[in-house]
Amino acid sequence: MADHLYGFDTLCLHAGHIPDAATGARALPIYQTTSFVFDSADHAASLFNLQTFGNVYSRISNPTVAALEERVAALEGGRAGLAAATGMAAQMTALLTLCRAGDHLVASRTLYGGTYSQFAVTFAQFGIDVTFVDPDDPENFRRARKGNTKALYAETIGNPQLNVADLDALATIAHDAGIPLVIDNTLASPYLCRPIEHGADIVVHSLTKYLGGHGTTMGGILVESGKFPWDNGNFPQMTEPSRGYHGVRFYETFGDFGFTMKARMETMRTLGPTLSPLSAFLLLQGIETLHVRMPRHCESTLAIAQHLSEHPQIAWVNYPLLSGNRYEALARRYLPSGASGILTFGVKGGAEAGVRFIERVQMLSHLANVGDAKSLVIHPASTTHRQLSEDEQRAAGVLPEMIRLSVGLESLSDILWDLDQALNNSQ
């Protein structure tokens, strides 16, 4: 008899957490402990040898963190997950499990700035070479691939350009080369897009954004699809005896979650960017309402985009699902139920008008984050990108007058009121 398939909303609330035998606690307990006692010397040996599943030390695994890992893996339709202290740590853990010095990656050039720096500066120090390409033509990834390329990397929705990736095309190019497609799905969240359904092999998230959803807690995660053939000859570290874990062959031993086990037992265990149990609890509490929050984020954002596009003080509005947007067709294909809660717009009057607008908002919060339940606004040219020249800013997709708005869950009429009064006072 086939197993009952639970819906996405139910998974948001239940996946990964069964009431424990000891207490029956319905809410997820916070296992605020560094270490776990062994039953016996033999039990300890079995745990260290990975012959039995269990917890040893919270840098490697922890029951509260594991509940979060299973929940996000379930929401993404993946086989297994590994949480990390931040989104940056999660993508680093994924990519350092795939790559070593002398290897190569091909990545979108419209990545989040922190990711760009991680790849271009830090990975370069490790001897990992990254080629950045214009993602609007997926064939650019194929052209940039080399013999030592270990993965393709892109974001479902780029930040701050809000470009949408052609996931099916990227997956085909990656699989033609026998390498995995790694997708940062942070801005979409699995409610809006599940990249594994489009061929992605590894999905990474900053949980800090929509999954946590309340701007309280840093976290990240990697999720493995369980479908990549790691024995295709390109990843000997998955099939040969592990130097990092006394001879275990991760793909043979753990099969379709072998990549996650390797990432956990080698990369996470030795580099140590672990998520804390308390953070996992707070992030999981946010995920329990993901399916209620995301539709509202999307509805309000589309309404604001339409309002602003008719506003006399607005030069332009960028939101993928806005009629006439250059990514509208890709958004309708990959993000049919909404293109997330972030839009950018240009205030007439250039950078000075942008700064005046920011100084006059009363309820929208001026800060450098996205995906909060509260509405957030920032003028990138005078903040996150101020160290760049105007030409460099334009190359990064940041125009002098550009405002980025992360639309929260407040009354739509109040968000519109604050935008209008700030715009009217910025001229």
- The single residue among 12, 111, 187, 261 that binds other proteins, judged by CB under 8 A, is 261
Which one of residues 12, 28, 58, 83 is an interface residue with other proteins (CB under 8 A)? 83
> Number of H helices and number of E strands within the chain?
19, 12
Each residue of 195-229: b (16+ CB within 10 Å) or e?
bbebbbbbbbbbbbbbbbbbbebbbbbbbbbbebe
- Binding flag, residue 246, other proteins (CB under 8 A): yes
Looking at beta carbons only, is 73 or 105 nearer to other proteins? 73
The residue among 85 and 321 lying less far from other proteins, judged by its C-beta, is 85
Distance (Å, whole) CA 182 – CA 229: 15
- What would the DSSP string read from start to end of 262-328? HIIIIIIHHH--PPPHHHHHHHHHHHTTHHHHHHHHHHHHHHHHHHHHT-TTEEEEE-TTSTT-TTH
Asked if 206 and 215 touch (Cβ cutoff 8 Å), the reply is no
Q: How far is the CB of 191 from other proteins (least distance, A)?
A: 17
Q: How far is CA 375 from CA 141, 170, 257, in A?
A: 35, 33, 38
Question: Across-strand partners of 184?
Answer: 155, 204
Q: Which of 241, 244, 272, 336 touches other proteins by CB under 8 A? A: 241
Place of tokens 């929050």: 293
Token pair recorded at residue 274:
């672990």
Between 81 and 338, CB nearer to other proteins: 81
Please, what sign has the CA dihedral across residues 118, 203, 141, 240? positive
145 vs 262, which CB is nearer to other proteins?
Answer: 262
Q: How many CA atoms lie within 13 A of 268 on its CB side?
A: 29
Nearer to other proteins, 272 or 336 (CB): 272
Specify which residues 216 forms β-bridges with: none
When binding is defined by CB under 8 A, the residue of 244, 255, 272, 295 that contacts other proteins is 255
The count of chain residues that interact with other proteins, using the rule CB under 8 A, is 52
**Nearer CB in complex with other proteins: 20/352:** 20
With CA atoms as reference, report the closest residue to 204 among 226, 181, 174: 181
Nearer to other proteins by Cβ, of 46 and 365: the residue is 46
234 binds other proteins (CB under 8 A): no
Residues 263-302, mask of contacts with other proteins (x by CB under 8 A): -x--------------------------------------
Q: Would you count residue 357 as binding other proteins (CB under 8 A)?
A: no
Q: How far is the CB of 11 from other proteins (least distance, A)?
A: 8
Q: Which is nearer to other proteins, 25 or 368 (CB)?
A: 25
The answer to whether 252 contacts other proteins (rule: CB under 8 A) is yes
Site for other proteins in 16-75 (CB under 8 A): 16, 18-21, 24, 42-43, 46, 49-55, 61, 63, 65-67, 69-70, 73-74
Q: Is 1 in the site for other proteins (CB under 8 A)?
A: yes
> Residue 313 in contact with residue 324, Cβ under 8 Å?
no
Residue type, 4: H
Based on the shown chain and the rule CB under 8 A, indicate whether residue 425 belongs to the binding site for other proteins: no
Burial class (CB in 10 A: 0-12, 13-18, 19+), 24: exposed
Nearer residue to other proteins within complex by CB, 19 or 272: 19
Amino acid, single-letter form, for residue 419: L
Question: Toward other proteins, which CB reaches closer, 290 or 342?
Answer: 290
Which listed range, 2-10, 111-119, 210-218, 418-426, lies at the site for other proteins (CB under 8 A)? 2-10
Examine residue 419 and tell whether it contacts other proteins (CB under 8 A). Answer: no
Output the six-digit token pair for 94: 């994924």
Burial tier of 75 (Cβ tally within 10 Å: 0-12, 13-18, 19+) = buried
Q: Cβ 48 to other proteins, closest distance in Å?
A: 11
Q: Is 6 in the site for other proteins (CB under 8 A)?
A: yes
Q: Name the site residues for other proteins (rule: CB under 8 A).
A: 1-3, 6, 10-11, 14-16, 18-21, 24, 42-43, 46, 49-55, 61, 63, 65-67, 69-70, 73-74, 78-83, 241, 246-249, 252-255, 257, 260-261, 264
